[in-house]
Structure 1
Amino acid sequence: MLNVFSLANGRLVQEEIASLEDLTHCKPIWVDLESPTVEERRWVKQHFGLSIPEDAMDDDIEESARFFEEDNGERHIRSDFFIDDPDLPHAIRVAFILNEHNDSLKSKGVLFSIHDEDVPVFRLLRMRARRMPGLIEDAKDVLLMLFDSDAEYCADTLEEIYDDLDRVSRQVLSGEVTDDTAGQVLAAIARHEDLSGRIRRNMMDTRRAVSFTMRSRMLSAEQFEDARQILRDLDSLDSHTAFLFDKINFLMDATVGFININQNKIIKIFSVASVAMLPPTLIASLYGMNFQYMPELSQKWGYPFALGLMVLSAVIPMLYFRKRGWLR
């Protein structure tokens, strides 16, 4: 899918592109390629003179090779953007290409983004740029706003994790945690821990991308200050993720503690039952020995006396355990 955006009265407007000829009638500042076809790649090559690298969206690129500048002035940035999918949260690799120096190419001043699937941050930026005139002035503003929107998207996801962990906390600290409840809590905690880790990794990648734009001296003074603000926002989110990890560890320890308490209650029942039944078992063993003259047979009330003695030997320990509070 080929999405072309240009500025009109300070707003970001999407152009309808159905053929190569349509590209000649617009002056874009952002060309977004989502799973581009061979034909769309050919259009970009013919009109802008830009060859999209075959490994632009590969995930196995070395970290040190994700930010570089070509001899023709093209700056390449490969950055990850977080997607909070309810079924499978993940990060998607996006390749950015920006040319500001080569006047002979039509790609000068145009930001190209290549990715395999739809990115929520891109939709968020397009919606804001349509409603807020003057938000974007050139391609570098688009790049910075994408990073800023990514940081805000991560912040929104962290707020959702906060709310979910509050519900889990009330459930755990209520004092009545059954094994089924503990299983649900552990599953929720594990999901939030994985989500927090992915967000933290994504923020680290965004921080590196923003730092590259600042080091490359491609930003104006105002844009440089915006980039510094993005880095400050990312630093503030780091403290929140650290707090979330501490909270997750606390809830994990508390839940495991309740599981151990429930297991100890079960073991306690068996321990009390075995101790309480030990005297009756001893009496039954003594009376069951093969004597020459068996007491229960030589006496009229032998069997009732033996049974009564067994019951009495079981009741007395149970009364003692109850008095000590061991049966609660």
Structure 2
Amino acid sequence: MLNIFTLVNGRLFQEEIESLEELAQFQPIWVDLESPTVEEKRWVKQHYGLSIPDDAMDEDIEESARFYAEDNGDLHIRSDFLVPDDEEPHTVRVAFIVNMANDGRRSSGILFSIHDEDIPVFRLLRMRARRAPGLIEDAKEVLLKLLDADAEYSADTLEEIYDALEKVSSQVLAGEVTDAQAGEVLGAIARHEDMNGRIRRNVMDTRRAVSFLMRSKMLNNEQFEEARQILRDIDSLDSHTAFLFDKINFLMDATVGFININQNKIIKIFSVASVALLPPTLIASIYGMNFQYMPELAQTWGYPYALALMLASALVPMWYFRRRGWLK
């Protein structure tokens, strides 16, 4: 899918392109390619003279090759964006190319973005730019706003994790936790820990992208200050992710502690039962020894006496354990 975005009276308008002739009718500041076809890449190369690298969206690209500037002034940035899907949260690699060529048709440059799937941050920026005139001024502003929105989206996701962990905390600290509840809690904690780790990695990647833009010396004074503000916002998220990691570890330890308590209760029952049944077993073994004559057969009350003695030897330890509170 090939979408272009043009500025009209300070507002960002989107057009979906379906042919090369239609592409030539607009002067965009942002060209977005979502899962581009070979034909769409050919249109971009033919009209803008830009060749999209084959490894633009590769996940295993070298870290040193994710941010670089070409001799003609084009900037290449590969950054990850968070997609907090309920079923499978993940990050999407986006390749940005800031084309600053001046060929008479454009002087402020064009931002090209290439990605495999729709990204919530992109939808958020499009909605804001349509409603707020003057929010976007040029291609570099689009890229900064995308990175800013990514950091803001990460902050919103952290707030959702805070709320979810509060519910987990109330469930864990309310009282006794059964094994079934502990399993649900551990599953929820694992999901939140995974999301928190993804957010931490995502903001680190965003920080690198913003820092590279600042070092490129392509930003004006206002944009440079905006980039510094984005970095300050990202720095503030680090403490939140660290706190969430500590909170998750605490809840994990508390839940595992309840599991150990439940297991100890089961082991306690077996321990008490084995100790209580030891005296009857001893009496039974004595009466079962190979005497010249069996004492329980010598008298008519032999068997009842033996059974009563075994029962008493079992009840006395149970009474003692209950008195000490070990059966509670």
TM-score, normalised relative to structure 1: 0.98
Q: CA-to-partner distance for each residue in 1:55-85, whole Å, 9 max, x for gaps?
A: 1111111111111111111111111111101
| Counterpart contact for 2:3–2:33, Cα < 8 Å | yes
Deviation at 1:106, TM superposition (A): 5.1
Q: CA-to-partner distance for each residue in 1:204-253, whole Å, 9 max, x for gaps?
A: 00000000000111111111111011101111111000000000000111
Q: Structure 2: which amino acid aligns with 1:81?
A: F
| Counterpart contact for 1:276–1:314, Cα < 8 Å | yes
Partner of 1:148 in structure 2? 148
* Secondary structure in structure 2 of the residue aligned to 1:113: strand
1:159-170 pair list within 5 angstroms: 159-170=159-170
1:28-67 pair list within 5 angstroms: 28-67=28-67
| Counterpart contact for 1:16–1:22, Cα < 8 Å | no
| Counterpart contact for 1:279–1:314, Cα < 8 Å | yes
Partner of 1:266 in structure 2? 266
Counterpart-to-counterpart distance in 2, 1:198 and 1:14: 30
1:103 and 1:78, CA in 2 relative to 1: closer, same or farther beyond 3 A? Answer: same
Deviation at 1:16, TM superposition (A): 3.9
Q: CA-to-partner distance for each residue in 1:128-171, whole Å, 9 max, x for gaps?
A: 10011111111111000000110111111111111111111111
Q: Structure 2: which amino acid aligns with 1:103?
A: N
Partner of 2:27 in structure 1? 27
Counterpart-to-counterpart distance in 1, 2:253 and 2:106: 56
Deviation at 1:99, TM superposition (A): 2.0
Counterpart-to-counterpart distance in 2, 1:58 and 1:106: 31
Ranges in structure 1 where 5+ consecutive residues have no aligned partner? none
1:306 and 1:16, CA in 2 relative to 1: closer, same or farther beyond 3 A? Answer: closer
1:123 and 1:81, CA in 2 relative to 1: closer, same or farther beyond 3 A? Answer: same
Counterpart-to-counterpart distance in 2, 1:46 and 1:106: 15
Alignment of 1:233 onto 2:233: yes
* Secondary structure in structure 2 of the residue aligned to 1:124: helix
Partner of 1:127 in structure 2? 127
Q: Structure 2: which amino acid aligns with 1:326?
A: W
* Secondary structure in structure 1 of the residue aligned to 2:33: strand
1:79 and 1:105, CA in 2 relative to 1: closer, same or farther beyond 3 A? Answer: farther
Partner of 1:181 in structure 2? 181
| Counterpart contact for 2:2–2:16, Cα < 8 Å | no
Counterpart-to-counterpart distance in 2, 1:269 and 1:17: 73
Counterpart-to-counterpart distance in 2, 1:199 and 1:207: 12
* Secondary structure in structure 2 of the residue aligned to 1:68: strand
| Counterpart contact for 2:27–2:106, Cα < 8 Å | no
Counterpart-to-counterpart distance in 2, 1:264 and 1:85: 39
TM-score, normalised relative to structure 2: 0.98
Counterpart-to-counterpart distance in 2, 1:137 and 1:275: 82
Counterpart-to-counterpart distance in 1, 2:179 and 2:327: 20
| Counterpart contact for 2:129–2:135, Cα < 8 Å | yes
Deviation at 1:15, TM superposition (A): 2.0
Identity of aligned residues (%): 77
Q: Structure 2: which amino acid aligns with 1:275?
A: V
Q: How many residues align?
A: 327
1:217-232 pair list within 5 angstroms: 217-232=217-232
Ranges in structure 2 where 5+ consecutive residues have no aligned partner? none
Counterpart-to-counterpart distance in 1, 2:237 and 2:266: 44
Counterpart-to-counterpart distance in 2, 1:105 and 1:309: 109
Partner of 1:247 in structure 2? 247
| Counterpart contact for 2:27–2:105, Cα < 8 Å | no
* Secondary structure in structure 1 of the residue aligned to 2:17: coil
Deviation at 1:18, TM superposition (A): 2.2
Deviation at 1:107, TM superposition (A): 6.6
Deviation at 1:27, TM superposition (A): 1.2
* Secondary structure in structure 2 of the residue aligned to 1:103: coil
Counterpart-to-counterpart distance in 1, 2:241 and 2:202: 12
| Counterpart contact for 1:81–1:150, Cα < 8 Å | yes
Counterpart-to-counterpart distance in 2, 1:260 and 1:6: 62
| Counterpart contact for 2:99–2:112, Cα < 8 Å | no
| Counterpart contact for 1:15–1:26, Cα < 8 Å | no
Counterpart-to-counterpart distance in 2, 1:105 and 1:62: 35
Counterpart-to-counterpart distance in 2, 1:24 and 1:228: 36
| Counterpart contact for 1:200–1:238, Cα < 8 Å | yes
Counterpart-to-counterpart distance in 2, 1:270 and 1:262: 13
Q: For structure 1, which segment, 315-324 or 22-31, has the greater mean C-alpha deviation from structure 2 after superposition?
A: 22-31
Deviation at 1:105, TM superposition (A): 7.5
| Counterpart contact for 1:110–1:139, Cα < 8 Å | yes
1:37-116 pair list within 5 angstroms: 37-100=37-100, 102-104=101-103, 109-116=109-116
Partner of 1:172 in structure 2? 172
